[in-house]
Amino acid sequence: MYHVCFVCTGNICRSPMAEAVFRAQVRDAGLDGLVEVSSAGTGSWHLGDPADPRTAAVLDTAGYPLRHIARLFEPDWFDRHDLVVALDEGHAAELRAMARNTAEAAKVRLLRSYDPEADPDELSVPDPYYGGAAGFEVCLTMVEAAVPGLLSEVSAAVAAREAG
């Protein structure tokens, strides 16, 4: 099983959105049972909470199923994840600081780094929490643009494991 975890601040907006979109793409690619998808936060403010209602609404409108309870990323999770996908530069820095060695730090990637159209100087998905519904739609657009590139990398890694 190949494990991917998406990480944002409170695990109620961006990371559950990325998790839902990527899970749907994994299913559509026929990789169910080969790729496990999850999400977590770097902060504990929302532990145990469901996704923000605006996240749930934008995902529902776009046809992505969501089942979610917020949780906190723990340093020992690097042991069981192949890829830890940060939603912004701050999360990536926090995750790399949490890593216990360079191999763990190398598992941290920015989601938008998989979007070939993204400006390489601005790879953060903006936090929509303090804004309105439009910010959540912008986030979904950014997530959907990056997920195909991520899926391509994960598919190749899964195929290499299956072959080797």
Tens of pLDDT along 3-58? Answer: 999 999 999 999 999 999 999 999 999 999 999 999 999 999 999 999 999 999 99
**Other residues' Cβ atoms within 10 Å of the Cβ of residue 153:** 13
* Whether 52 contacts 12, CB under 8 Å: yes
Residue 35's region, left for phi above 0, alpha for psi from -120 to 50, else beta, is beta
pTM: 0.97
Do 134 and 120 contact (CB within 8 A), yes or no? no
Catalytic positions are 8, 14, 127
Res. 118: pLDDT tops 90: yes
Q: Domain map of the chain by residue range?
A: 2-163
For 53-71, how does the pLDDT look when each residue is reduced to its tens digit (9 = 90+)?
A: 999 999 999 999 999 999 9
Side chain identity at 128, as an amino acid letter? Answer: P
- pLDDT at res. 123: 97
Within the chain, residue ranges assigned H as helices are 14-28, 53-62, 89-98, 102-105, 133-163
Class of domain 2-163: alpha beta
Whether the CB-CB separation of 35 and 63 falls below 8 Å is answered with no
- Radius of gyration of the chain from its Cα atoms, rounded to whole angstroms: 15
Q: Tell me: pLDDT of 164 over 90.
A: no
Q: DSSP letters along 74-119, please? A: -GGGGGG-SEEEESSHHHHHHHHHH-SSHHHHTTEEEGGGG-TTS-
The one-letter code for the residue type at 89 is: E
